[in-house]
Structure formats: structure tokens, C-alpha cells
Amino acid sequence: MNIHIKNGRLIDPSNQLDAQQDLFIVDQRVAAIGKAPKGFVAEQVIDASGMIVMPGLVDVAARLREPGYEYRATLESEMAAAVAGGVTSLACPPDTDPPLDEPGLVEMLKHRARALNQCRVFPIGALTYGLKGAELTEMVELSEAGCKAFSQADAPLTDTRVLMRAMQYAATFGYRVWLRPQDSFLAKNGVAHDGEVATRLGLPPIPVIAETIALSTALQLARETGVTLHICRLSSAAAVDMVRAAKQEGLNVTCDVSMNHVHLTEMDIGYFDANCHLMPPLRSQRDRTALRAGLLDGTIDAICSNHSPVDDDAKLLPFAEAEAGATGLELLLTLVLKWAEQEKVPLLHALSRITINPAKLLGQKMGHLSLGAHADICIFDPAANWRVEPAALRSQGKNTPFNGYEMQGRVRYTLLDGQLVFQQ
């Protein structure tokens, strides 16, 4: 279908484009910017006056809960949430039940996602069988089935020899390894940052060194094996410094941060608010400041939602017993806008953290609006105010620390491959 998106402010970080331009889609691809291509006849016109037109968001961490946890969320519910949030591509961690350690599971997931035709799904394969940290998965087979990287999700990999071999094997084929650094012994039974709040509330702590010790191990093994390493969900100032130094050294390492950690700290736990029970834990104000600085100077490549739908029953428990996680797909854009406004970050720069940068982490040619690119597009009204009401969220997960927050910036249209998949 030929679509004409007119009168919008086009922002495409990949092409350093921020201008009032029309965009023309022919045959599901970006055909022209500014002037209509020769002979173009619009079959559909979208008036984007007062709105921002940008590449569809790419989210490197969104749990869809399939297979195995369909009582928490299904592909149907979470894809609807994704497109409502302007997300057109997402990577899902392998901690499903069973974990994504078999090509058949990956193919099934991709097939289900394709049939729904809402959002592109990039499964991250399990690094070890059953995420048990002992035996390597068939990475080549999994890669052929569609896995774009390999990870332990939040499962521990305590045996450093297994970790080194997993990296060596992945490096052999040029596969990416994604790790969330957390020493499982130091973090054992922990539920909150080892700081003032955990001390006061008597919550079992997770110290910052649980992150930095594991990160140090991962960085040294990456140096040794030459693997392409991606560090997931940085949470501490010390870890940001380590990744910055590793990048300066020339190591092949990237990293991301969750939107929750860009905005919240341990203080938000207040009186045991289980919605703030997140993994990694929310840390101190100083850590949040360092994460924001890391985003600004490019140490941190991407912001993700770390979307993890949890059912109400698993949250209506005392803090430590409640399950970690929060819904996020529908809040990613607005929270990135909020960060950009608070830190006076130009949108061109801010939006790169949820478009071209995460696309590169997945090794995919997407997240931009170059001529010929798939027309995955998000159109949002930057002036629209709204309030986060759990019941109004499309995700099956209703728990969010941002419950009741006033937000600015709302998605109006989402296009996947030149087709309108969401409109409000």
C-alpha cells in the first residue's frame, strides 16, 4: 500500500535527520522523504501535524512469557502492548519454560509471532541447556532457527570454565553473548540494593559488588576469548565506570540499562512497594546519576523496557516474597522522553537509544528510516498528557512502579512493514 505521512516532524537518529518532512511508503518500504516519488499516488494519508515520526522502537529486553507462563502473558497480549508503545522489534530473553534452548522452541515462537504480524520478535537463545550453566546449547542450530544472541537471562552461570568455553564457542561463529552480571553467591536471597533502604526495612541485600565482580569476570573472559559481549541491565555507578574503561580499551563490549533504573532509586521502595521489586535492584541516587551520565556519553548503548509481566498474585505478597519484574512495553517511549526532557538531551540523541543502537546490538538492519528500509514507524504526539492507569494497559502484566504517574508523549500510530498495526 502507498502511504503518505504528512506534516510530521521526522526524527531519524541513524541519518541525523530532525526536520519537518513528509514520508512516503511504497511496497512496505520507505520510498521517499520530503518529496513524493514520481507517480506516487497515496492510498492512505496519515496527518502527523504536531506529531513526531520516528523509526519503530527496538526493545532489547521484553519477556513475552511464552512458552510456559501463559497465565502471566501471551504473545497476543504482549504484542498488543508492544505496538501500543510504538515498539516494532523486540528481543525476548530465553527464560521461558522450557527455556529457549531447542531450535524447535525458537521456530515455534517466531512462527507464532509472525502469524500475529504485530511486532518483530528476536528470540535470544539460551547459552546453556536449561539455563543450568553446565552444558552448551547447539548455538549454530539455534542461530539458524533465528536466535540473534545467546544469554543466561537472570539464571546464574557460576562455573567460569563453562562461561569461558561458551564465549569461545560463540566467538568461533561470531555470535553475540549477552550477560547480566550478578554474582549468585553475593546476591543469594537478596531482594534490594545493599543500601540505606534495605538496612532500614530489613530487606535481604544485593551489594553492588555482586554486579562488579561478575562484570569483571565477564570482561576479562571477553578479552581472552574475543567474543562480542553485551552487558544487560547495568545498575551501578561502579559498573558504568568499568564498561566505560573497557570500551576505551577497545574491547568489543556494549551495554544497556532498563528504563526503570534511569528513573527510580531504592527510595521508591517507600514502605515495601512490591512494584519496585525489580532485578537488578533499584540502587542509590548516585548510581542513577551515573547511569544517566553513561547514557549521555555513549557508554550505555541502549535503554530497554525490561518488560516482565507478573500476575497480581505474585505481587500481592510481602516485598521479599513477591516476584521481581514490572510491565514496561507501553512506557518505554514516554520514559525515554521524560529522561530526555529532564536531562535536556536532544531527541535525536535520546531516540537513538531505542532505535538504531539496539538494532545494532541485534545485528539487524533496522531502527532507521533510510530509503529502502522496512517501514517500521512510530508516530507519537509529544504534547499528549496521560496518566498511567494499570487497568488501561494492554499488557497482561499490570504491575508498574509508575502506577499513577503523569506522562507526556503518546503513541498515535504504529506501522509495521508499511501496515498500520496500531492507532489511537
380 close to 333: Cβ distance less than 8 angstroms: yes
**Residue 406 interacting with another protein (CB under 8 A):** no
Judged by beta carbon, residue 195 or residue 280, the one nearer another protein is 195
315 close to 399: Cβ distance less than 8 angstroms: yes
Shortest Cβ 318–another protein spacing (Å): 4
Among 22, 95, 101, 194, binds another protein (CB under 8 A): 194
CA distances from 199 to 194, 277, 281, 288, 322 (A): 7, 16, 14, 19, 19
Shortest Cβ 199–another protein spacing (Å): 4
For residue 385, give the C-alpha cell.
498528557
107 by DSSP, 3-state: which? helix
Candidates 118-126, 233-241, 312-320, 376-384: pick the segment binding another protein (CB under 8 A).
312-320
Judged by beta carbon, residue 206 or residue 393, the one nearer another protein is 206
Judged by beta carbon, residue 50 or residue 202, the one nearer another protein is 202
394 close to 87: Cβ distance less than 8 angstroms: no
Among 40, 129, 272, 386, binds another protein (CB under 8 A): 272
**Residue 190 interacting with another protein (CB under 8 A):** no
Judged by beta carbon, residue 34 or residue 270, the one nearer another protein is 270
Among 19, 45, 134, 317, binds another protein (CB under 8 A): 317
**Residue 320 interacting with another protein (CB under 8 A):** yes
Residues 6+ apart with CB under 8 A from 318: 272, 274
For residue 412, give the C-alpha cell.
498515535
**Residue 324 interacting with another protein (CB under 8 A):** no
Among 135, 321, 389, 406, binds another protein (CB under 8 A): 321
Candidates 107-115, 123-131, 199-207, 381-389: pick the segment binding another protein (CB under 8 A).
199-207
**Residue 224 interacting with another protein (CB under 8 A):** no
Taken in order 406, 412, 417, 421, the sign of the CA dihedral is positive
Where in 242-271 is the site for another protein (CB under 8 A)? 270-271
Shortest Cβ 219–another protein spacing (Å): 25
Q: How many residues bind another protein (CB under 8 A)?
A: 23
CA–CA gap between residue 291 and residue 255 (Å, rounded): 11
Among 23, 147, 203, 335, binds another protein (CB under 8 A): 203
Per DSSP bridges, beta strands 9-12 and 253-258 are unpaired
Shortest Cβ 283–another protein spacing (Å): 13
Q: Which single residue is written with the C-alpha cell 529532564?
A: 342
Candidates 1-9, 29-37, 133-141, 198-206: pick the segment binding another protein (CB under 8 A).
198-206
CA-nearest of 223, 273, 267, 262 to 245 is: 223
Judged by beta carbon, residue 97 or residue 185, the one nearer another protein is 185
Residues 6+ apart with CB under 8 A from 2: 24, 25, 26, 40, 41, 42, 43, 44
Residues 6+ apart with CB under 8 A from 23: 4, 5, 8, 10, 30, 32, 33, 53, 369, 377
**Residue 404 interacting with another protein (CB under 8 A):** no
Consecutive H or E run containing 302? strand 302-304
Summarize as ranges the residues that interact with another protein (CB under 8 A).
194-196, 198-205, 207, 270-272, 274, 313, 316-321
